[in-house]
Amino acid sequence: MKDRSLNMERPIPFLLIGLTAILSLFILYTLNFVTEHDIHQELLLIKPHKKEEDRCDLFNGNWVPDFKGSMYTNSSCATISTSKNCFRHGRKDRDFLNWRWKPEKCDLPRFDAKAYLDIVRGKTLAFIGDSVARNHIESLLCLLSQEEVPVDAYLDSEDRNRVWHFPVHNFTLKMLWTKFLVSGEERVINGSSSGIFDLYLDKVDENWGRELHGLDYVILSDAHWFFRQIYLHKGSNVVACVYCNVANVTDEGVVFALRMALRAALSHINQCKKCEGMVTLLRTFSPSHFENGSWNSGGSCNRTRPYSERKIDLGGYEWEMRRMQVEEIERAKRKGKRFGVVDVTKAMLMRPDGHPGAFWGNQWMQGYNDCVHWCLPGPIDVWNDLLLALLRRLPVRA
């Protein structure tokens, strides 16, 4: 019996060693997970809170059926531009409105115009970007006008720079147009526009640069103008190009060009001495959905329901653009200002059904489909659900 008892005890040290090893691996894994989670929370411009909804990753999820539909219609919103008013131009299907974005581990609340206007009371918010940024601001105007109808305070001769004021809340909303974020000029050849651009990385576009000091919130975006022939200048040197074939100049591609322009813009914001307390949120790349051709070769977007997550490609150029933008925001945050991301790329990769397509009423480009911008109302409205969720997490300091 004695020998048997001893034999039973012998495996115990080995068992303890095994359990210790497993426990150590679990602790190391847990620490690694927490580190990655904390980094993502910093990306959202928040610190971990006790509330589970404040810790939720808003940008990872799926579209689920929601038959409540849109919070406005093309009849109830007077500020929809004609090219985004898809129903006015003959779009018949409406099922694309009956979906909502559902993050994996929480719910994203529907837009609350009163709550939004309370947060930005007495503040100025500007969208800095191109026509997709204008698309975004038009969605926001439709949603806010359900609570307070804004006053149209300024319109330039090209309908690019706009200012709206909400007098009850003393809130000012601006659209500051820019093609490239940095200073850029189109080459004129034989008296005609060439479609070739020179970008100067040492200087931001003054159209938004001179307005920066008066802003409390900035929603920054850009991308679609970079898909053309571009030469990047730094000082007196041409340092790179896009879609070119020139001796002694390297074609670095669209992602590189956008990275350099975005880095210059974020650096300018960080160096702004009169911008203390300002929050800058970058809206990530908004994908197009041309099928059977590009915009100028018969491409179309006729789908009527979202893609599933299995259908989208997270290895394509859209995701590469988004990843670069997130990297540049992380880089800028180390300099001291407050930056964050409205990460719409994954959600919008799943929405080939949300574009105007043929229903944009453009008399000058008949036969071309718009698979870049988004119908109003439409899935773009979720951008403002996400924006409000982020603003709730981090209001501007007084």
Known catalytic residues are 131, 370, 373
Quote the DSSP letter at residue 74.
T
| CA dihedral for 382, 81, 374, 224, sign (positive or negative) | negative
Q: What whole-number distance in Å separates Cα of residue 258 and Cα of residue 147?
A: 37
**From the centroid of its chain, how far is CA 262?**
13
Amino acid at 220: L
Please, are residues 357 and 77 in contact by the beta-carbon 8 Å criterion? no
Please, are residues 74 and 361 in contact by the beta-carbon 8 Å criterion? no
Look up residue 180 and give its two tokens.
């490239």
Degrees to nearest 5, angle at CA 294 with 327 and 352: 65
CA distances from 143 to 40, 151, 398 (A): 28, 15, 26
Helix (H) or strand (E) segment spanning residue 393: helix 382-393
- Closest by CA position to 244, among listed 255, 235, 253, 236: 253
Q: Residue 310, CB half-sphere, CA atoms under 13 Å: how many?
A: 0
Please, are residues 373 and 86 in contact by the beta-carbon 8 Å criterion? no
Q: What whole-number distance in Å separates Cα of residue 74 and Cα of residue 375?
A: 10
192-204 and 182-189: which strand pairing?
antiparallel
Look up residue 221 and give its two tokens.
């975006």
**From the centroid of its chain, how far is CA 79?**
22
Please, are residues 45 and 338 in contact by the beta-carbon 8 Å criterion? yes
Look up residue 200 and give its two tokens.
């100067």
**From the centroid of its chain, how far is CA 5?**
68
In three-state secondary structure terms, 233 is: strand
Look up residue 327 and give its two tokens.
């990297």
